[in-house]
Amino acid sequence: MIAPAVRPATRPQSAPGSNPPGPRDHISFSSITTYQQCPLKYFFKYVAGLPEETVSASFVFGRSIHRAVEFHFCELLAGNAPPDLDTLLAEFQAGWDEQPAAAIVYPKTDTRDSLGQLADRMLTAFRDSDLARPTGRILGVEEELRGQLLPGVPDLVARLDLLVESAEDIIITDFKTSRSAWTDDKAAGSAEQLLLYREIVHTLLPGRSIRLEFAVMTKTKEVTLSRHAVTPNAAKTLRTRRVVQRVWDAIDAGHFYPVPSPMNCPTCPYRVPCRHWSG
C-alpha cells in the first residue's frame, strides 16, 4: 500500500433539514457528484445511511465487470499467469450475485441472460487487448489513497483502478464501461476525477511524472476498447478544486433538497423516502 488505510467516515443520523450533519473525516468524488445530481439523494445515502431499495442493472453490470478486471490485475500483481475467461466470468457472476435479484431493475432492452452474454464478449475482448497487459510494474489495483486537497474540507478518498510505474511515468488508469465509444472530447469533459486523483498521488510521490488515462470498454454488439489520455490542466484542476469547495460548503451547511429529474428519478433507490420528505 502507498498510503495508510482509510479511516471509516462518521455517518450522523439526523432528519433532513433539521441540523447540519456532524463532521465527516473524508469525502469521495462520487459523493460530490451525488450531491451535484441531487442533494437529497446525498443526504439519504451519506448522512442518514439509508439502504438502497433498488439498483439499476447497468450499475450492477459495470461493478461486476470492474470486479473481473480487478481480479485479472490482482493476479498479475501477485506474479501469477493471467486468468482464463471462465475465471473472469466467475468473478463477474460473483459480483452480480452480491446484489439481491429482487432489487435489480432492468431496462426494457436488457435481461439477465443478455447481460451475461455481453459480459462474455467484453471480457473476451479485454483479455485479447493490450489493456490487459500493462507495460511497467503494477503498483496498485483498486488502490485506496487519501489526502487533504483543500483547507477546511475533509480528506478526499480516491480509489484508483490501476496504478502502474513505467520507466518514465506513474500511470493512473480509470476503467469505464460505456454504451458507446468515447471521443477525446468526452474524456476531457470527464477529467475532473482523474485530475483530483493526480493531486493526491503527486503529494505521495513528489517529483514523479504522472500520466492519466481512461480505458473505455463499450457495451455494444461489437465490443471496442480504447485509451484516452487526459492532459493535466492547471486551470481546470483549480476550477475542480473550487467546485469541490463549494459543494462541501453546501453539505456542511446542511442544504439538502430534491432535484426532480425525469432521467434520474425513475431509477433512484430512494424514491419512497423522497416522496415522504416534507422539507
Identify which of 221, 246, 232, 228 has the alpha carbon closest to the alpha carbon of residue 196.
232
* pLDDT band of 185, cuts 50, 70, 90: very high
Q: For residue 41, what are the contacts with CB-CB under 8 A and spacing of at least 6?
A: 34, 268, 270, 274
Distance in angstroms (rounded) separating the CA atoms of residues 17 and 13: 12
C-alpha cell at position 143:
488502490
> What pLDDT shows up at residue 21?
45
Q: How many domains are contained in the chain?
A: 2
Distance in angstroms (rounded) separating the CA atoms of residues 8 and 221: 41
User: Strand, helix or coil at 219?
Assistant: coil
Residue 170 lies in a domain: yes
C-alpha cell at position 60:
450492477
Query: Do 122 and 143 sit in the same domain of this protein?
Result: no
Query: Do 178 and 222 sit in the same domain of this protein?
Result: yes
Residue at a domain's end among 104, 130, 156: 130
> What pLDDT shows up at residue 23?
58
Query: Do 34 and 71 sit in the same domain of this protein?
Result: yes
Query: Do 241 and 164 sit in the same domain of this protein?
Result: yes
Q: pLDDT digits over 26-82, tens only? A: 999 999 999 999 999 999 999 999 998 888 999 999 999 999 999 999 999 999 999
Structural contact between residues 213 and 227, judged by C-beta atoms closer than 8 angstroms = yes
Residue 279 lies in a domain: no
Domain that holds residue 167: 135-245
Query: Do 143 and 176 sit in the same domain of this protein?
Result: yes
Q: In terms of pLDDT, which residue wins out, 31 or 19?
A: 31
Query: Do 55 and 91 sit in the same domain of this protein?
Result: yes
Distance in angstroms (rounded) separating the CA atoms of residues 56 and 217: 19
Q: pLDDT digits over 117-151, tens only? A: 999 999 999 999 999 999 999 999 999 999 988 99
Residue at a domain's end among 100, 130, 160: 130
Whether the pLDDT of residue 20 is over 60: the answer is: no
Q: pLDDT digits over 190-246, tens only? A: 999 999 999 999 988 888 999 999 999 999 999 999 999 999 889 999 999 999 999
> What pLDDT shows up at residue 53?
87
User: Strand, helix or coil at 123?
Assistant: helix
> What's 177's domain CATH number?
3.90.320.10
Query: Do 209 and 145 sit in the same domain of this protein?
Result: yes
Whether the pLDDT of residue 11 is over 80: the answer is: no
% of residues, the chain, pLDDT over 70: 92
Q: CA–CA distance from 96 to each of 3, 55, 82, 224, 266 (Å)?
A: 30, 12, 22, 23, 22
In degrees, to the nearest 5, what angle opens at C-alpha 39 toward C-alphas 35 and 40?
135
